[in-house]
Structure 1
Amino acid sequence: MSLYPTAGAKLYIGGPKEQQKADFAAADFTGETWVEIDDLENLGSLGDTSETINFDGINAARRKTLKGTRSAGTMEVVCGINNDDPGQIAAIAAEKTPHDYAFRLVLNDAPATGSDPTPSERMFIAKVMSASEAFDEANSVMKLNISLGVNSNVVKIAAATGD
């Protein structure tokens, strides 16, 4: 098993995408036009968490914990502000709409061997909940903070050697 750096990962935004009752599959993202969001500094986290449901049984004097609905949460993305970047422009425009958008995260974990190695990917739909600017102190880069409210399962595509 190998470890891989986050450095080199890429995040893309696609077009508006409707929610569906069934989980998404990779084929649901076929034909999507992807625009890279550039100047990434932080990709945050992504993945399902179950809501906690508690039941306090009087006769057992014991709390029982159950799992409720699942949520992939909010992915907090941080970029250096680049007013000319098509991906940042698309994310800012998406924040102004009520729609979910397709997102694609390409990791930096392609195998070192094989005829046509490809990295793993994560695909999902999300609403761009915010696109706020942070200016901080004198010796810092101005940032664009993008919050993605994930509204689907996360489709995982494994890295492959291409053989």
Structure 2
Amino acid sequence: MALQAVAGSKFYIGTRVAPKDTVALADFTAQEAEWTEVKGWTQSGSLGDTQEIISQNFIDANRTRQIKGTRVGGSMENTFAPLPNDPGQLKFKNAIDSCSPYAFKVEWGAGCASEGEVTISTATPGVVTWPDGHGLEADSPVIFTPDSGTLPTGLTADTVYYVVGSGLTPTTFSVAATPGGAAIATTADGTATTITATAQPAGQTDLFFGLAMPGAKQGGDSNTPILRTWAVAVDSNIVEV
């Protein structure tokens, strides 16, 4: 996998969700129409599980043995420039006042997402043709946006689909509703004049449930901008797509 910059990454908050120990991609399907980008993101925190270590001393062996304990998602400490009228920041503020977790999404390096005009055949499965090459791998997430009209029947505009490995060529691919899923058949032509595909590299989108936590404003000398630290206490596993 090629190196990818953090610049261009995007941070999204969804809706309030019921607490859940283990989440799967299906738990975020309903969030596709609910994501709101939190703008003004200046510094990203670390995101990922840590694991407790359980140790026990053994007298007879003169040795301390260790086993793995529970995992925890930790706290993702983020810094934002205060934007009082930003819908994402307003949504985060409301989430801070809630006792419930919310859905979150991070698209790492989203400024480097591939984008181009494509055609989609009516076939079993439907085949997406990206004439100048797509550079995607199996399971890469991709969305299709018609400029007007509709996509071929079987596909929904601005919904996340996943590249299917079977039949993948440098300029063509089919898509599935889930990573590793069955390729989708398109049963009728769409009415869109043009279709734009936007795709993130595989493994660069993280989805999780978490608690929105309050944070302090940061000051400094006269030439320091005022920033605010907001953390997300990750309360589930992290789904990586």
Partner Cα distance (1:106, 1:123) in 2: 9
Partner Cα distance (1:18, 1:131) in 2: 24
Deviating more after overlay: 108-117 vs 133-142 = 108-117
Runs of 4+ in 1 over 3 A off after TM superposition: 109-113
2:128 is matched with none
2:188 is matched with none
2:41 is matched with 40
SS in 1 for 2:80: strand
Listed as ranges, the matches of 1:40-79 within 5 Å are: 40-79=41-80
Residues 92 and 131, structure 1, Cα contact 8 Å, conserved in 2: no
SS in 2 for 1:47: coil
Partner amino acid, structure 1, of 2:218: A
Residues 19 and 100, structure 2, Cα contact 8 Å, conserved in 1: no
1:118 and 2:199 correspond: yes
| Greater C-alpha Rg | 2
Return the offset for 1:31. 1.9
- Please give the TM-score of this superposition, normalised by the length of structure 2: 0.61
Residues 55 and 65, structure 2, Cα contact 8 Å, conserved in 1: yes
2:14 is matched with 14
Partner amino acid, structure 1, of 2:14: G
Partner Cα distance (2:220, 2:100) in 1: 30
Give deviations 1:90-142, integer Å, cap 9, x for gaps. 11111111110000001225468416451131000100122332222211111
- Please give the TM-score of this superposition, normalised by the length of structure 1: 0.89
Residues 12 and 36, structure 1, Cα contact 8 Å, conserved in 2: yes
SS in 1 for 2:26: helix
Q: CA RMSD in A?
A: 1.6
Partner amino acid, structure 2, of 1:27: A
Partner Cα distance (1:130, 1:57) in 2: 43
Partner amino acid, structure 1, of 2:63: R
| Residue segments in structure 1 that go unaligned for 5+ positions in a row | 158-163
1:95 is matched with 96
1:4 and 2:4 correspond: yes
CA 1:25/1:92 → structure 2, altered by over 3 Å: closer, same or farther?
same
Matched residues, number: 156
Partner Cα distance (1:100, 1:132) in 2: 21
